[in-house]
Structure 1
Amino acid sequence: MTDETNPLLTPSTLPYDLPDYRVIRAEHYLPAFEAAFAAQRAEVDAITANPDAPSFDNTMTALELSGDLLGRVAHAFYTVSSADATPDIQAAEETLAPLMSAHQDAIQLDSALFARVRALFEQLDELDLTPEQRYLVQRRHTQMSHAGAGLSNDAKQRLTALNQRLSTLTTAFEKNLLADTNELAVVFDDAAELDGLTAGELSATAQAAADRGLDSSYVVALTLFTGHPYLSSLTDRESRRRLLEASRSRGSRGNQHDNRGVLREIVRLRAERAELLGYDNHAAYITSDETAGSPDAVRELLFRLAAPAARNAERERAALQEIIDAGPEPFPLEAHDWAFYTEQVRQERYDLDRGALRPWFEAERVLRDGVFFAATALYGITFTERPDLPSYHPEARIFEIHNADGSALGLYVLDLYTRDTKRGGAWMNSIVAQSRLRGTAPVVVNNLNVARPAPGQPTLLTLDEVNTLFHEFGHALHGLFATVTYPSFAGTNVYRDFVEFPSQVNEMWIYWPEVLSNYARHIETGEPLPAEVVEKLATSETFNQGFATSEYLAASWIDQAWHRLGAAEAAADIDVAEFEAQALAEIGLDSPVVPPRYSSTYFAHIFSGGYSAGYYSYIWSEVLDADTVEWFHENGGLTRANGDRFRRRLLGMGGSKDPLEAYRDFRGRNAEIAPLLERRGLTG
């Protein structure tokens, strides 16, 4: 293979610099990465070899221009490795992980480069810089310091070794989880075992079985989180038990996919690295460069919410037990029963069956007449599907987006359906990041894991899946609207405990009357969702929030508990299940019928994603989100004026401004917690 025959080593000729996935093959990636590493290393060496005194242009601008090839290759590859991880792609990722870590360290820990950045930082007040340029110097200095650029050479060598090993381990964790999740998909031989599922859901399980070569069977694939949407409707208690048991056993079965040893080593090495960098533990290291500032601030919020959430969950448990006790054969409520009997209580108390709402949530209509409709009403943007443009997988659809004035904005890619090569959960990522300096426009991707129905059947979403689509599109808007000069600030490159804020705000439009009436139309009759059902959804909004808040807080505290361990504590031979139990007891969320949203062995967010010591970010960001929703209500809701303000002062800033300063600029004050407490029913 030569540079000329590797399509990743020449700029794309497609619109918006979209990679030409029609000609890119798995074997192209590693050679392209090798060339890209060498190119950026040479670019950085040219910066440090410059005999002139450091200036913004010869140091910061040059550094931002470096790595253009690496950015193109990495964005193209990591999009595929998360959404279509074939064996060849997985093998490439395993090889790549330590190489990428070593390359990043070589730049972040470069003493000569850090000296130039530090020189600019120390004379910041004397330089004639724009606010974005000034913030770039500050952030680059902080990031390099945080990464260990000021350490001795011996310490840097140890740090580099730790980072490379951690990159290998996190890749292994994700690979193990994907394999075990696929192996543990629950096979049912009789449709009667799946009584309670709709015809469309049953069709999807039959299709999943057929895809695996299992005739006359039904396969239920597992979701990333502990629970499963089908638990709310399966009438067979044994089927529910099998489904939840499979979910909770992932990564802890003692087989080749067991993640317990992997995660223990990750925790140990992260603690050692934190100590090397001068921090008590990994949580202190992570939060020091987030808006939270310290693990104590995180602990204070989580513990403040845990006690009322646990009380609400106990009241909910008692209500569920009453339903069971009134039945012909009473039994003690167990975790796999919760969702099913929650729906019984919901129907009894609110006369509302959420499972029966799916005919009103046909996927294409939710997308075009809900998600896109709200975005057009708020921001004036329009969407045109581009089937002529190649995506990384046949199921991934591409839409071109234009601003209200007709100018081109970027591309949006939607990959809706689950498959065995796609990791679990839902996410947004960029294929191309916007930058004035590089002259690039954004290309962003949303991935979900919706079960594909049998051919000819419509895709009917659950209310939770509708919520996920709006949520992930909020991330997409952040990536599309961020308008910055420097690549470091592009899209969602913001503090981790701020990044969920725009996506959570976008969820508010799901129930906004003008939006809901536009997309929630019955698949057969076209009738809108009845007004009385909409009212019941509103009045039941805080119902089951005790469970939802408790399961989330439990996972958040498990994350904090692992990462608050010091190096000596983390070096012990820790029993994973026992450690989790002790952590949950500490925060008072150790109810056996309310398991954490994620347990350690399948907690991809913290052991293979970017949320280590940061899973608290969702509730931290929700303080801002709930306060912002209140602002929209106070100022007229779904209007162009409101959308333009939110876009200009928050989404459009990307990472080019302190996020809390940007929030104050938008809101006129700091966020208040009262709207969040009200939303989650925690005010009593």
Structure 2
Amino acid sequence: MTENPFLAPSPLPYRLPPFGEIRDEHLRPALDQGMAEQLAEIARITADPAPATFDNTVVALEATGQLLRRVTAVLDVRTSVDTNPELQALDAEYQPKRAAHSDAIHLDRALFARLDAVYARRAELALDAESLRLLERRHQEFVRAGAQLPPAQQQRLRELNAELASSSALFEQNLMAANRAGALVLDRVEQLDGLSETAIEAAAANARELGLPDTWVLSLLNFTVQPALAQLTDREVRRRLLAAALERAELSNGQLAATMAALRAERAALFGYPNHAAYVVADETAGTEAAVTELLGRLVAPAVANAERELARLAAAAEADGVTDFGPHDLPYYAERVRQAEYDLDSAALQPYYELDRVLFDGVFHAAGLAYGITFTERTDLVGYHADTRVFEVFEQDGTPLGLFLADFFARTTKRGGAWMDELVTQSHLLGVRPVVHNNLNLTKPAPGRPVLLTADEVRTLFHEFGHALHGLFSDVRYPSLAGTAVPRDFVEFPSQVNEMWANWPEVRDRFARHHESGEPIPAELLAKAEAAETFGQGTVLVEVLAAALLDWAWHTLPAGQPVEDPVAFEAAALKAAGLSLAAVPPRYRTGYFGHLFVGGYSAGYYAYLWSEVLDADTVDWFAGNGRPVRESGEVFRRELLARGDSRPALECVRAVLGREPRIEPLLVRRGLTA
């Protein structure tokens, strides 16, 4: 252990983990020692003979577990971006151990007694606003973790948490295996007709990497509708690709999801809640089941009406080609055909203007400088967690160092699907640390020497995930529990959705939307066509998202003691009951690959994307129409919201930015639902 790099804080800038020195064998002993150290630190707090105070209990608790923080941050990033069988086995072993460790802290009666004593005297303590917020949030955290339950129920809670942790690790491993196994292998290049030359080359390179020479492989992305479905002319190949996406992990994860939903329902019942959704939303900005149900219900009927109108147009276009049995595998293809016919726009025509580095430097980074005054310097001397990872140092306008941003953009078989942000080091004035954050995407890596050209959706995703990164980078709080993105789940997507607006902000777009060879700006005519076509297909897109949100809601509004025997039938019945069982429009995620719910912490929370979009649409209108310069508006948004973390209630932050209550009308206009 004396040579284990986790044992001391990293000597690198911003305490970036020393990935060049870390080996897999360092993780297990560091995990064990980290948990033991934190329990010893807790024991010292509870053994203190002095009466409980804010400093000797609450602040002391904030400072515990620093070794464990260092090692779990690395374990989590490694298992998600570059895993292997040994790491998967270690993760499966330690997920329940980590859950038990969390329970050991939250269910420590002596610790909670001290915390409760301080909480009871909170009105007398003259705490500053952030310290009072920490005390209230920590007390609530312990209560929601079972600190006030009787011993028998606490024991059952420990068992439930351990089983859920194990199941979550297994769900993720099953899904990664299913994504690999479900990749579509094609043996004739003609079957890829319609794809660009770059995409075909990437499919061939993918096949070689998988040891399948003389074939072409289309790997599965995290969601249902695979991008290639919009271009592939071979209808049978489209059918096979969509089937592979829809059916992956159905057997391995379907019943596992049902088991997890039942365990969550039982856990919620221990706390007196009717179901898991009620338990979750009580600690979110929505507050109640009824509020979420009302929002989703308000959107379903107009979204379905829009989708049905769109589907009629697409089915007519398919029928003109002799297709009389229009299905979900046809929808993306004919949506693209109709878009081309009605708007004279081929979506692929935009890609030569969206080269990755140009979008990153002249788009994402430039927008951050325009709004917030920050700058970026690539640090090739610092090593990331994978060879593809790039490290950037971030500076304030006056040159003051702010933090590190790591970017890992490419898909690989050892990486989980989707796009996400996380923190390797969480900002805290108490601990004297500045933020280290990372973004992960799953772009197809082109053949050597070929440019990385993005779709419009991938450009939007790049801006979206960087919005999360800014939330972590701009954190300016004392206590780590309140820092960065540690905000309610139905609020955390809001800043990242706002950041998407810069992709269409003229001053930003004019810099990055340039041809990768000539450097010429995107032609005004092509841009006008793209803008005119932007609302096309939004009905079906919204139905996909609503279907996923309501599927999540169906799983997590189940009461305790009502197990699901047939997950596939349950899913179909849930979508039908919600009015969303459109045969041609499958949900964005089906149960077997709905990692947000069963791995990623969004259980009973997928509605957050739509809930946050209400705030997002209103805030985008505020940015565009408040009469202030962009830099001034950015400073308000940063100071009043991005920098605050969870140091004050989320909706208070929104009101401080807007100067009023948020409104739903901008969302309805954006989504074409005003009629």
Q: Under TM normalisation by the shorter chain, which class is it?
A: over 0.9
Distance 2:190 2:286 in 1: 50
Q: Does 1:640 align with 2:657?
A: no
Matched, 1:414 2:412: no
1: distance between equivalents of 2:427 and 2:107?
A: 26
1:651 corresponds to which letter in structure 2?
A: L
2:180 alignment partner in structure 1: 182
Pairing of 1:534-683 with structure 2 (within 5 A): 534-569=527-562, 571=563, 573-636=564-627, 639-683=630-674
1:276-322 deviations in whole A, cap 9, x for unaligned?
12111111110111111122211111111011000000000001012
- Indicate conservation of the 8 Å contact 2:367/2:508, yes or no: yes
Aligned to 1:79: 77
- Is the contact between residue 133 and residue 647 of structure 2 (CA under 8 Å) also seen in structure 1? yes
For residue 474 of structure 1, the aligned residue among 459, 463, 467 is 467
The equivalences for 1:319-338 within 5 A come to 319-327=313-321, 329-338=322-331
Tell me how far 1:581 sits from its aligned partner: 1.0
Q: Secondary structure at the match of 1:448?
A: strand
Distance in 1 of aligned mates of 2:244 and 2:461: 23
Asked if 1:65 corresponds to 2:63, the answer is yes
Q: Which residue of the other structure, out of 272, 279, 285, is the alignment partner of 1:285?
A: 279
Q: Equivalent residue for 1:233? A: 231
Q: CA deviation at 1:61?
A: 0.7
Deviations along 1:129-182, whole A, 9 cap, x unmatched?
110000001101111111111001111111011100100000000000000110
- State the one-letter code of the partner of 1:630: D
Query: How far off its partner does 1:537 sit?
Result: 2.3
Paired residue type of 1:518: R
CA contact (8 A) 2:255 2:567 kept: no
Matched, 1:139 2:137: yes
State the 4+ residue runs in structure 1 displaced beyond 6 angstroms: none
CA contact (8 A) 2:38 2:64 kept: yes
Residue aligning to 2:115? 117
Structure 2 distance, partners of 1:506, 1:450, is 20
Secondary structure at the counterpart of residue 447 of structure 1: strand
Distance 2:121 2:61 in 1: 18
8 Å CA contact 2:623–2:630 kept in 1: the answer is: no
Q: CA RMSD in A?
A: 1.0
What is the one-letter code of the residue matched to 1:671?
P
Partner of 1:439: 432
Q: 2:317, 2:338 within 8 Å by CA — same for their partners in 1? A: yes
Distance change >3 Å, CA 638–CA 225, structure 1 → 2: farther
Q: Answer whether contact 1:434 1:487 (CA < 8 A) is retained.
A: yes
Match runs of 1:447-466 below 5 Å? 447-466=440-459
Could you tell me how far apart the structure 1 residues matched to 2:619 and 2:45 are?
Answer: 43
- More displaced 10-residue stretch of structure 1: 43-52 or 590-599: 43-52
Quick one: distance in 2 between partners of 1:526 and 1:609? 40
Give the 3-state SS of the residue equivalent to 1:99 in structure 2: helix
Q: Distance in 2 between matches of 1:583 and 1:169?
A: 23
In 2: Cα distance, 1:223 partner to 1:65 partner: 39
Which residue number corresponds to residue 485 of structure 2? 492
Counterparts of 1:116 and 1:288, CA distance in 2: 25
What is the DSSP-based 3-state SS (H/G/I as helix, E as strand, rest coil) of the residue aligned with 1:523? coil
Instruction: Tell me the amino acid that sits aligned with residue 13 of structure 2.
Output: P
Where 1:653 maps in the other structure, the secondary structure is coil
Is the Cα contact below 8 Å between 1:378 and 1:638 reproduced in 2? no
Task: List alignment gaps of at least 5 residues for structure 2.
Answer: none
Task: Say yes or no: does 1:300 pair with 2:291.
Answer: no
Which residue matches 2:502?
Answer: 509
Post-superposition CA distance 1:571-604 (Å, at most 9, x none):
3x42111111111111111001000000001100
Q: How far did residue 336 of structure 1 move?
A: 0.6
Hey, what does 2:95 align to over in structure 1?
A: 97
User: Residues 233, 323 of structure 1: CA spacing in aligned structure 2 closer, same or farther, 3 A cutoff?
Assistant: same
Give the drift of 1:637.
7.5
How far does residue 532 in structure 1 lie from its aligned partner after superposition? 2.0
Contact kept, 8 Å, 2:255 with 2:566, in 1: the verdict is no
Distance in 1 (alpha carbons) for counterparts of 2:349 and 2:50:
70
Alpha-carbon distance between aligned partners in 2 of 1:564 and 1:515, rounded to the nearest angstrom: 43
CA pair 337-638 structure 1, distance change in 2 beyond 3 A: farther
Whether the 8 Å CA contact 1:377–1:638 is kept in 2: the answer is no
Count of matched residue positions in the alignment of Structure 1 and Structure 2: 675
Instruction: Give the share of equivalent positions with the same residue, in percent.
Output: 52
Secondary structure of the corresponding residue to residue 392 of structure 2 = strand
CA distance in 2 between counterparts of 1:247 and 1:200 reads 22
Give the equivalent residue in structure 2 for 1:154. 152
Shift of 1:344: 1.1
Q: Deviations over 1:169-222 (max 9, x none)?
A: 000000000001101100111111011111111111111011011111111000
- d(CA) in 2 for partners of 1:359 and 1:88? 41
> Residue type matched to 2:63 in 1?
L
**1:293 is aligned with what amino acid?**
G
Distance in 2 (CA, whole Å) between partners of 1:608 and 1:333 is: 34
Counterpart of 2:403, as a letter, is: G
Cα distance change, pair 184–638 in 1 and its aligned pair in 2 (3 A)? farther
> Partners in 1 of 2:88 and 2:404 — Cα distance?
27
In 1, the alpha carbon distance for the partners of 2:627 and 2:95 equals: 48
Return the alpha-carbon distance in structure 1 between the equivalents of residues 538 and 169 of structure 2.
34
TM alignment of 1:39-58, pairs within 5 A: 39-58=37-56
Alpha-carbon distance in structure 2 between the residues aligned to 1:164 and 1:599: 25
Output the TM-score relative to the length of structure 2.
Answer: 0.99
Quote the offset at 1:621 in angstroms: 0.3
- 1:317-369, Cα deviation, whole Å (9 max, x unpaired): 00101212223x23221001111110111112211111221111111111011
Deviation at 1:636, TM superposition (A): 4.8
In the alignment, structure 1 segments of 5+ residues that lack a partner are none
- Matches of 1:418 and 1:479, distance apart in 2: 24
| TM-score when normalising by structure 1 | 0.98
> Given residue 137 of structure 2, which amino acid in structure 1 is its aligned partner?
R
Q: CA deviation at 1:541?
A: 2.3
Alignment of structure 1 residues 119-268 onto 2, 5 Å: 119-252=117-250, 254=251, 258-268=252-262
Contact (CA 8 Å) 2:201, 2:447: kept in 1 or not? yes
Letter in 1 for 2:21: V
Q: What are the residue-to-residue correspondences of 1:390-409 with 2, within 5 Å?
A: 390-409=383-402
What letter corresponds to residue 103 of structure 1 in structure 2?
Answer: H
SS at match of 1:399: strand
Go from structure 1 to structure 2 and tell me whether the alpha carbon gap of 1:574 and 1:399 turns closer, same or farther (over 3 Å shift).
same
Instruction: Please state whether the residue corresponding to 1:291 is helix, strand or coil.
Output: coil
Which residue of structure 1 lines up, in the alignment, with residue 366 of structure 2? 373
Equivalent pair of 2:83/2:415 in contact (CA under 8 Å)? yes
Distance 2:628 2:336 in 1: 31
Alpha-carbon distance change, 638 to 181 in structure 1, aligned in 2, over 3 angstroms: farther
In structure 1, the residue corresponding to 2:94 is in which secondary structure? helix
What is the rounded CA distance, in whole Å, between the counterparts of 1:541 and 1:671 in structure 2? 25
Q: Which amino acid aligns with 2:163?
A: R
CA contact (8 A) 2:207 2:213 kept: yes
**Partners of 2:273 and 2:279 within 8 A in 1:** yes
Q: Is the 8 A contact 2:513 2:521 kept in 1?
A: yes
User: Are 1:385 and 2:383 an aligned pair?
Assistant: no
Change (3 A) 1:407 1:650: same
Q: CA contact under 8 A between 2:95 and 2:166: conserved in structure 1?
A: yes
Partners of 1:137 and 1:374 in 2: CA distance: 36
Q: How far apart are the structure 1 equivalents of 2:12 and 2:262?
A: 45
